[in-house]
Chains A and B, each alone.
Chain A
Amino acid sequence: MSSTNQNETLGILVCTHSTLAGGFKQAIEMLMGPQENFETIGLYEGDDIMDLSKKIIELIQSMQTHKNVIFTDLFGASPTNSAAMTLVDINASIVTGVNLPMLAEILTLRNQQLPFEDLLMDIVAKGKDNIRIITKEMILEG
């Protein structure tokens, strides 16, 4: 794979069950406006997991990005498994359990030239940190 014509921006692909991935994109664009090198794909009833792998490779290659992060919804599930199968062919890492905070974080930080592994650790921490419980008591009693 030649990297001479590839842009240095990190490519982001969200791959989920059904329309969830597209919903994430709409939510992100509502928060942050249109994003480049940000693709989504869904697995629907009747879809073949090998076909999904092929489509993931095509989408990643269409972005012409040197490095990529694939976000998936559920560890162990087909969108994740299909994405995992593509790692032989493309330059990417997978982050499972995608949520909006981690997507917003990576889209904010991806141009800051952080080491790739550090960036991934950072956004995973952000994603986990945003999962909180707010109880009735906290609101009523402070």
Chain B
Amino acid sequence: MITLIRVDDRLIHGQCIVRVLADFKIEKIVIVDDFTASNPVLKNVFLLATPPQAKSVIFSVEETKPNLLQFIENNENVLLLMRSPTVALELFKSHPQLKMELNIGPISYRPDTIKVTSYTYLSTEEIEAVNEIAERRVRVYFNQTIDQKIIEWNEVKNLLRSG
């Protein structure tokens, strides 16, 4: 089953391996990222970074789609991990049976982005993707690790509009 759907542009990293994998008892990490999937060096870096208690697979968005149902239906705790909300939107569209919750973690600053939380920067395109995901009745929330504050998309979206 998919235990957590998370957007985090650092993919597998300290916060992830120290807290998220343990908190959600993750057994399999499914990384959905075209760039990482097409780059053998990056692929090796993230496969190497996977701690022994979990297994990672790395797919492009298109490779993910035919495999996603299997991850939804199996008995393992799966972390579905991607770098951008635009990818999440694509998967929510192709698989309506996905868990209706999206966790957004750290996304780094880029020149065209707006600061949404202290650790999340979103581009206009990404904000639109999040809006569209929320309109599909998916609960979107910002959270780094479960012991830290949760910020709901509903709390920040109006601030973005007025700002």
List residues of A whose CB falls within 8 A of some B CB.
17, 45-49, 51, 74-81, 84-85, 88
Contact = CB atoms under 8 A, between A and B. Distances in A.
23 contacts: A45-B106, A45-B119, A46-B106, A49-B9, A49-B10, A74-B14, A74-B17, A76-B12, A76-B17, A76-B48, A76-B50, A76-B51, A77-B13, A77-B17, A78-B10, A78-B14, A81-B12, A81-B13, A81-B45, A81-B46, A84-B48, A84-B49, A85-B41
Contacts of A51: 108
Nearest to B144: A45
B42 A85 contact: yes
Q: Of B10, B18, B41, B48, which is in contact with the most chain A CB atoms at under 10 Å from its CB? A: B10
Contact of A81 (B18, B49, B121): B49
A24 to B, nearest CB: 17
A80 to B, nearest CB: 7
Interface of B: 9-10, 12-14, 17-18, 41-42, 44-46, 48-51, 106, 108-110, 118-119, 121
A84 B10 contact: no
Given A45-B106, A48-B9, A48-B109, A76 B14 contact: yes
B54 to A, nearest CB: 10
Given A77-B14, A85-B41, A88-B41, A46 B49 contact: no
Contacts of A75: 49
A81 B9 CA distance: 13
Contacts of B18: 74, 77
Q: 8 smallest A-B Cβ distances: which pairs?
A: A77-B14, A78-B13, A48-B108, A76-B49, A76-B17, A84-B45, A46-B109, A78-B10
Contacts of A81: 10, 12-13, 45-46, 49
Nearest to A17: B14
Given A17-B14, A78-B10, A81-B12, A45 B49 contact: no
Nearest to A45: B119
Most A C-beta atoms less than 10 A away, residue of B13, B44, B49: B13
Contacts of A84: 44-45, 48-49
B42 to A, nearest CB: 7
